[in-house]
Chains A and B, each alone.
Chain A
Amino acid sequence: MSEPIHSPTDALLQVQDLKTYFFTFDGVARAVDDVSFHLEKGEVLGVVGESGCGKSVTAQTIMRLIPQPPGKIVSGRILFDGRDLVRLSMEQMRGVRGNRIAMIFQEPMTSLNPVYTIGNQISEMFRLHMGLSRRESLNRAVGMLRKVQIPAPEKRVGEFPHQLSGGMRQRAMIAMALSCDPEILIADEPTTALDVTVQAQILDLMLQLQADFNTAIMMITHDLGVIAEIARRVVVMYAGRIVEEAETGPLFEDPKHPYTQGLLRSIPKLGSRGAGERIRLEEIRGMVPGLLNLPQGCRFSPRCPHVMGICREKDPPLKRIGQGRTARCWLYFDEPGKD
């Protein structure tokens, strides 16, 4: 794609034609393949997709956390504050990571260091990025724990990760991520490992903090429910590609891409059965393709109920189909096959 479909001038982060491949013994895995999107100041962008769709690799690419080799950013740009993150040295990147773009992960137990106290790990942020003293940093760490509503923060600050519950650990992770007041918070499945009542607490907290700090959040999840709750705009990914982009309301009301349509129809919705008989769930046939042997043409074509001849031959480009809406599907072309 030569020209991005929309390149708003006030975009905080702009990802353009990004390709991150993994060069393995079995072949090249095109984990992120020509992905473009942007993140505006203070917004919550949802990135949704199933395992292997490239959503986490996209996040890791932005943070420059791709293990190299086997991974490699093959092409593309990640524009942030006038700079292309792809071209920064690891030294320069350390000034951005944690400080201006922070990330939280799915499993707070494995992403916190088990041999350091919570306070030690949070105050490290203040020492490294702001050059504060040990004592001042620890005071600030207590303040952050209070902000994420951890009870008795003065006591918790001296505890180790294993002494906290799953929900508490995720709160501590969020405290750490937000401690340098970053402009962007990338959250990769932050509530997937948590119980629903704790998930509700964490989502609630994230939205509160987002309003207080005006942090832009990139929320990566497989859960369409979580997306509907917190995202303003949504990017849907499938097999390394963005297949649809829309504002949250229109996406759920009128999904355009057959994959999005299938996903929304296949999940049982709470409270929708009533007392009556169940209606058979619609299925998406087949399975998610492996990245090493992607189907020819549109990557969704083997599973698509609307598949046409052209779909198996040529991959459609993203097409603008309305205000802030795009879809990667030949159904929306007047002459399918001609882009």
Chain B
Amino acid sequence: MEPLLTVDNLKIHFPIKKGVLSKTVGYVYAVDGVSFSLKRGQTLGIVGESGCGKTTAGLGVLKLVPVTSGTIHYDGRDISGADGRRLRALRREMQIIFQDPYSSLNPRMTVNQIINDPMEIHGVFAGAERKDRIAYLLERVGLSPEQGRRYPHEFSGGQRQRIGIARALALNPSVIIGDEPVSALDVSIQAQIINLLIELQKDFQLSYIIIAHDLAVVEYICDHVAVMYLGRIVERAAHGPIYADPKHPYTRALLSAVPVPDPKAKKDRIILKGDVPSPIHPPSGCRFHPRCPHRMEICDKKEPQLKDLGGGHEVSCFLYD
């Protein structure tokens, strides 16, 4: 099956400007050569710690941040250079759900207006049809059509996230990018939203990219997982192998660090030394080498490339060369 979305060697560098002339003195290498693909109806998870570039990569796909280089194919078409009218048409196809349901809804708009807005902008579903659609979407995400007349502040965090999901669905998109869609919610509400996302995926044939730091949530939702570290993908595989048999030393450390809600769980934890280095001056060679417990001589000299170890389980580490 042809992937719906293919991202190839995506680079997003933010210039650092200084002085009265705003001279560029350096770059933040937020995303530095990332490739992935998304199959129709499937879910790709992008995981990593803060500053690894996972959110920037997601925004880059939607062209919500300027892309430095790389190509993006959607449904067989190269959309890397899309702008203006073409970009707008693309955004009908790809929508986003944000992390913070408090700051991502306009407080001066009623819920009806919030969901109406994308349809208004794109000029779809006119008149009574649009009204029906708003009511339908509200019901579909677990709210009542009467609640559409209220304002965002009258809702709880979980309900606001439902409103954000209804807005994302308004244009009937094919792809939804969820940037930490449940991490701001209370534990007892997270399961409701996760279940809703999974139901909607089936009913609307959606393809998801889920960006998250919670490895357990990603394991539950995603079909494929990409692990990012300092602007690069270090490991990529189907959800089964990556959790059962992680290959990259960083993935192993990351998985072993997650506190498991079971006091009897086996704990052979790998504690990493130090912090994630700055993406302004990423380490030479493999970016993980200063913290890696299996560091070899070659690691600070050459940069490893993603290599398929069989069955689509790819890892970029010299241990497997």
State the A residues within 8 Å of B (CB): 50-51, 165-168, 195-201, 203-204, 222-229, 248-249, 252-253, 262-264, 266-271, 273-275, 278, 280-285, 287-288, 303
Which residues of B (183-207) have their CB < 8 Å from a CB of A?
186-192, 194-195, 198
B260 touches A281 (CB 8 A): no
Contact (A273, B49) CB under 8 Å given A283-B195, A284-B191? no
Bound state CA distance, A262 and B192, in angstroms? 12
A195-B213, A195-B276 known; 19 new pairs, CB 8 Å cut-off, are A196-B215, A197-B49, A199-B257, A200-B257, A203-B259, A228-B259, A228-B262, A248-B263, A263-B187, A266-B188, A268-B219, A270-B255, A270-B258, A273-B220, A275-B241, A278-B220, A281-B195, A284-B192, A288-B189
The answer, yes or no, to whether B79 is at the interface (CB within 8 Å) is no
Bound state CA distance, A223 and B267, in angstroms? 17
B195 touches A280 (CB 8 A): yes
Q: For the complex formed, measure the closest distance between the CB of A251 and the CB atoms of chain B, giving whole angstroms.
A: 8
12 of the cross-chain contacts (CB-CB < 8 Å) are A197-B272, A198-B275, A199-B257, A201-B272, A223-B259, A225-B260, A227-B261, A229-B263, A252-B264, A263-B188, A275-B238, A284-B192
The answer, yes or no, to whether B102 is at the interface (CB within 8 Å) is no
The answer, yes or no, to whether B271 is at the interface (CB within 8 Å) is yes
Q: Which residues of A contact B195 (CB under 8 A)?
A: 280-281, 283
Q: Which secondary structure characterizes the binding site on chain B?
A: helix
Q: Which residues of A contact B257 (CB under 8 A)?
A: 196-197, 199-200
State the B residues within 8 Å of A (CB): 49-50, 156, 158-159, 186-192, 194-195, 198, 213, 215-217, 219-220, 238-241, 243-244, 253-265, 267, 269, 271-272, 275-276
Q: For the complex formed, measure the closest distance between the CB of A271 and the CB atoms of chain B, giving whole angstroms.
A: 6
B219 touches A167 (CB 8 A): no
Q: Which residues of B contact A271 (CB under 8 A)?
A: 219, 243-244, 255, 260
Bound state CA distance, A264 and B243, in angstroms? 21
Bound state CA distance, A268 and B254, in angstroms? 17
A228 touches B194 (CB 8 A): no
Q: Among B158, B215, B263, which residue has its beta carbon within 8 angstroms of that of A249?
A: B263
B271 touches A267 (CB 8 A): no
B275 touches A274 (CB 8 A): no
Contact (A287, B219) CB under 8 Å given A201-B271, A203-B259, A262-B188? no
Bound state CA distance, A267 and B215, in angstroms? 12
Contact (A50, B188) CB under 8 Å given A195-B276, A196-B49, A269-B261? yes
Nearest opposing residue in chain B for A273, CB measure: B219
Q: Among A196, A253, A267, A269, which residue has its beta carbon within 8 angstroms of that of B187?
A: A267
Q: For the complex formed, measure the closest distance between the CB of A51 and the CB atoms of chain B, giving whole angstroms.
A: 6
Nearest opposing residue in chain A for B243, CB measure: A271
Most chain B C-beta atoms within 10 Å of own C-beta, residue among A224, A226, A267? A267
A229 touches B259 (CB 8 A): yes
Contacts between the two chains (Cβ within 8 Å), count = 142
Contact (A264, B261) CB under 8 Å given A195-B49, A204-B271, A273-B220? yes
Q: Which residues of B contact A275 (CB under 8 A)?
A: 238-241, 244
Nearest opposing residue in chain B for A201, CB measure: B271
Most chain B C-beta atoms within 10 Å of own C-beta, residue among A51, A197, A283? A197
Q: Among B238, B253, B260, which residue has its beta carbon within 8 angstroms of that of A270?
A: B260
Q: Which residues of A contact B265 (CB under 8 A)?
A: 228
B261 touches A50 (CB 8 A): no
B259 touches A226 (CB 8 A): yes
B191 touches A283 (CB 8 A): yes
Bound state CA distance, A263 and B186, in angstroms? 10
Nearest opposing residue in chain B for A149, CB measure: B273
Bound state CA distance, A227 and B265, in angstroms? 13
B240 touches A196 (CB 8 A): no
Q: For the complex formed, measure the closest distance between the CB of B139 and the CB atoms of chain A, giving whole angstroms.
A: 17
Q: Across chains A and B, which 6 residue pairs bring their CB atoms closest together, nearest first?
A: A225-B259, A275-B240, A268-B220, A266-B191, A200-B257, A195-B49
Bound state CA distance, A270 and B49, in angstroms? 17
Q: Which residues of B contact A198 (CB under 8 A)?
A: 49, 275
B188 touches A225 (CB 8 A): no
Q: Which residues of A contact B241 (CB under 8 A)?
A: 275
A288 touches B188 (CB 8 A): yes
Nearest opposing residue in chain A for B261, CB measure: A224
Q: For the complex formed, measure the closest distance between the CB of B236 and the CB atoms of chain A, giving whole angstroms.
A: 16
Bound state CA distance, A50 and B158, in angstroms? 13
B213 touches A268 (CB 8 A): no
Bound state CA distance, A303 and B186, in angstroms? 15
Bound state CA distance, A249 and B262, in angstroms? 8
A228 touches B260 (CB 8 A): yes
B261 touches A267 (CB 8 A): yes
Bound state CA distance, A31 and B158, in angstroms? 21
Q: Which residues of B contact A200 (CB under 8 A)?
A: 256-257, 259, 269, 271-272
Bound state CA distance, A252 and B263, in angstroms? 7
Bound state CA distance, A71 and B159, in angstroms? 29
B213 touches A196 (CB 8 A): yes
Contact (A225, B261) CB under 8 Å given A198-B275, A273-B220? yes
Q: For the complex formed, measure the closest distance between the CB of A29 and the CB atoms of chain B, giving whole angstroms.
A: 16
Q: For the complex formed, measure the closest distance between the CB of A73 and the CB atoms of chain B, giving whole angstroms.
A: 26
Q: Which residues of B contact A204 (CB under 8 A)?
A: 269, 271
Bound state CA distance, A50 and B156, in angstroms? 13
Bound state CA distance, A180 and B261, in angstroms? 33
Bound state CA distance, A253 and B263, in angstroms? 9
Nearest opposing residue in chain A for B256, CB measure: A200
Bound state CA distance, A40 and B50, in angstroms? 37
Q: Which residues of A contact B254 (CB under 8 A)?
A: 196-197
Q: For the complex formed, measure the closest distance between the CB of B28 and the CB atoms of chain A, giving whole angstroms.
A: 16
Q: Which residues of B contact A201 (CB under 8 A)?
A: 271-272
Contact (A270, B243) CB under 8 Å given A196-B49, A196-B213, A249-B263? yes
A50 touches B187 (CB 8 A): yes
Q: Which residues of B contact A273 (CB under 8 A)?
A: 219-220, 239-240, 243
Bound state CA distance, A273 and B242, in angstroms? 12
Bound state CA distance, A224 and B264, in angstroms? 13
